[in-house]
Amino acid sequence: MKQASDMNSRTSITLPQLIALREQLEASSRRPALSRARQSGTYRSAQRGRGMEFAEVRSYQQGDDIRTIDWRVTARTGKPHTKLFQEERERPVLVALDYRRPMFFATRGHFKAVQASHLAALIGWQALKDGDRIGAFLFSEERHVELRPQSGKRGVLRLLQQMVNAPAWQRPAHQPFDPQHRLYHTLIRLRRVARPGSLVSLISDFSQWDAQVEEQLTLLTRHCQLRLIFCFDPMEAQLPQAGYYPVSDGNAHALINSTDQHFCNTYQQRFNRHLATLKHFCQQHQATLLVCATSDEPNQCLRQGAAGGL
């Protein structure tokens, strides 16, 4: 009975499970952050601060930045006026969570989708602790769900409930889907949903990463702080010791031969190139990259990011 329960927790999520992560976050915050030497999973460049929100318009004064002139009010009144801004008190935090089919896989630890959900829940609880508003963008091949940023515990619980109720968890393994629906299509909508000044955490395995995906994310970084959280299974990074391993996606079946050293090297190089591409993008566009395997402790992954990085 316990074995069945343990298996369910590795392949699915429950509301009590996600709520319990709050205590885990609180407990970890009472411990000192990891030293930089252990932050091998974090790649980071200069970060933008919180967004600025409009406060008021007043008459132009000598020394004001001409870029803040409100030309509409100036034209209407015949006198120059300046827009005043103030730092947002509550930063919008948006979690973009990948529930596409490749995320429902793992050979160790939890499904990538489960690990991603745990990460999203922890981000939600951290937003509550920081006094920020939490919103979400949950997506799969079939649909997406948008949650506008909301403050307080109600905002976090709304996120958790939407994750638990996501149709992707009940999706039949053989259910057909449109392979033409690419990741970049989803990111077009995400870019329109993300409010300027938001911290956007995109949690995914980044399958279907291509030039069009990079284009959409580049546009997103122009007005948002972007954090990519790369979820992967250890076997996607390196094949197990020599042997023959049957694999299946619930429909097709195949046999992996890890006795072929050339195949193993090519396989590992493909993963390394994928990771290097993500790292390069983040370095080029002032974004953060966190790396989290399905066998890792998700809270530890986020703590590494909070402590700083390369």
Whether the per-residue pLDDT at 203 is higher than 80: the answer is: yes
User: Alpha-carbon distance 156 to 273, whole Å?
Assistant: 35
What's the confidence (pLDDT) of residue 249?
58
What's the confidence (pLDDT) of residue 216?
97
56 vs 279, residue with greater confidence: 279
Whether the per-residue pLDDT at 32 is higher than 60: the answer is: no
Mean pLDDT of the chain: 85
Q: How confident is the model at residue 84 (pLDDT cuts 50, 70, 90)?
A: confident
What's the confidence (pLDDT) of residue 122?
98
In sequence order, what are the beta bridge partners of 87? 52
What's the confidence (pLDDT) of residue 179?
59
pLDDT digits (tens, 9 = 90+) for 36-83: 333 334 444 434 444 566 678 889 887 788 888 899 889 999 999 998
C-alpha separations of 40 from 201, 205, 283, 310 in Å: 19, 18, 15, 8
pLDDT digits (tens, 9 = 90+) for 219-258: 999 999 999 999 999 989 888 777 887 776 556 677 877 7
User: Alpha-carbon distance 73 to 14, whole Å?
Assistant: 52
Question: What residues does CATH 3.40.50.410 cover in the chain?
Answer: 2-50+90-306
User: Regarding the domain delimited by 2-50+90-306, which CATH topology (the fold level of the hierarchy) does it fall under?
Assistant: Rossmann fold (3.40.50)
